[in-house]
Amino acid sequence: MTAVPQYFHVLAKPTGAICNLDCKYCFFLSKEMLYPGSRFRMADDLLEEYIKQMIESQHVPEVTISWQGGEPTLMGLDFFRRSIELEKKYQKPGTTISNTMQTNGILINDEWCEFFKQNNFLIGLSIDGTKELHDFYRVDKGGHGTFDKVVNAARLMQKHEVDFNLLTTVHAHNADHPLEIYRFFRDELKSRHIQFIPIVERDNATGFQEGNKVTDRSVSAQQWGNFLITIFDEWVRRDVGEVYVQMFDAALASWYGENPAMCIFGEKCGKALAMEHNGDLYSCDHFVEPKYLLGNIMEKSMLDLISSEKQMNFGNDKLDTLPKYCLECKVRFACHGECPKNRFIETPDGEPGLNYLCEGYKAFFMHVDMPMKFMAQKLRMNQAPSDIVQFYREEDKRIRELFAGAERNDLCPCGSGKKFKHCHGKSFAE
């Protein structure tokens, strides 16, 4: 047994892998095979044990209970009413308990929204962009697009003033439409919190993190970098302080010298686990595989499982297996080799364990270096990072004057040899 963590995060899956959609890239649907014959519903005694252990074993002022799937709303509202009842029963004086849920939005109606609002749930709503982009992969069991229902869920949550984030998976089909997606979220859905997750889907029969081939639904490293950079360039010129993009917030934390809130950019793993509908606790949501099963919380306490040597090794491996190429990388402090699930390619000198998305991350982190330094410095001076919007306004004006007359397809007057639109012209918002 090793050191006991002060805090940890668990994604609980009350319906296991069961979902009312059939998204073509979903990595979790195949997990159903891990529990043949199961009803895939978290039982009441497990729910109580889970809430009790989550609250009792953490020594932080705020405990977060996070529901995920599959699709957690399939449990029905009464399950979540009961979880709130149990939270109140076990709540420690001086602590607060917050609840989050990731949902596809299909079942969300006024009643759900009233419940979310009343109990301060933070909801993550999965949406992949505009109708055509979303409906390409996010389909129901009959193969029909789900966009209209998801947008309806967003509007309902707005009506009831429920806090929600939009969560977008970036894949081969939508990756080349960054501004279309971002502007739709910002201007049409009026969203102020946005998360992007790259789809890197291994092409194998097991559904586990094995092999080094990816499906053609996966985003490429270059697309991923370009997606982030393009949205960043728009965000930094007009939306800082108004729209929160989780990836940009995480980067700013790294430049400021704090730990980013996203585990993928942390130095080590190990504190973001996943629990199945029957109480089986796994090292991470992306490693719900027999090899990473720590045990069942009805048989052994969650704290014992999390502080086990197996989980400590899982956490430390993220740092210990970093290739030399990453160790020497200029942006390692912000990237840390990203998530180990994506580390299956070789470095240029043949060392295994490089992240499949490396090229994209490197491009993105190098691109944001100057503005991140600017914003981190503002934070240190107790000033608003959003001052950068004004900085860019003046800078863009200066560049416009400097490059007056240059057409988008001309060679850039700076002498880079690139077209103006791919060089200094790129920085002007379209």
Q: Could you give the CA distance from residue 409 to residue 338 in angstroms, rounded to a whole number?
A: 36
In this chain, which stretch among 42-50, 298-306, 357-365, 374-382 interacts with ligand SF4, using CB under 6 A? 357-365
Please state the closest distance from residue 285 (CB atom) to ligand SF4, in A. Answer: 6
Kindly state whether residue 329 participates in binding ligand SF4, applying the rule CB under 6 A: yes
Active site residue 44: no
In this chain, which stretch among 22-30, 68-76, 181-189, 263-271 interacts with ligand SF4, using CB under 6 A? 263-271
Kindly state whether residue 326 participates in binding ligand SF4, applying the rule CB under 6 A: yes
Mark 108-147 with x for binding to ligand SF4 (rule: CB under 6 A) and - for no binding. ----------------------------------------
Nearer to ligand SF4, 82 or 367 (CB): 367
Kindly state whether residue 362 participates in binding ligand SF4, applying the rule CB under 6 A: yes
One residue of 340, 371, 385, 425 binding ligand SF4 per CB under 6 A: 340
Token digits of residue 404: 């007056």
Kindly state whether residue 325 participates in binding ligand SF4, applying the rule CB under 6 A: yes
One residue of 236, 335, 372, 412 binding ligand SF4 per CB under 6 A: 335
Identify the residue whose tokens are 């806090």. 163
Please state the closest distance from residue 267 (CB atom) to ligand SF4, in A. Answer: 10
Instruction: Tell which positions 269-288 bind ligand SF4, by CB under 6 A.
Output: 269, 272, 284, 286
Kindly state whether residue 339 participates in binding ligand SF4, applying the rule CB under 6 A: yes
Kindly state whether residue 65 participates in binding ligand SF4, applying the rule CB under 6 A: no
Kindly state whether residue 251 participates in binding ligand SF4, applying the rule CB under 6 A: no
Q: By CB under 6 A, name the binding residues for ligand SF4.
A: 263-264, 269, 272, 284, 286, 318, 325-326, 329, 331-332, 335, 337-341, 355, 358, 361-362
Catalytic residue numbers read 285
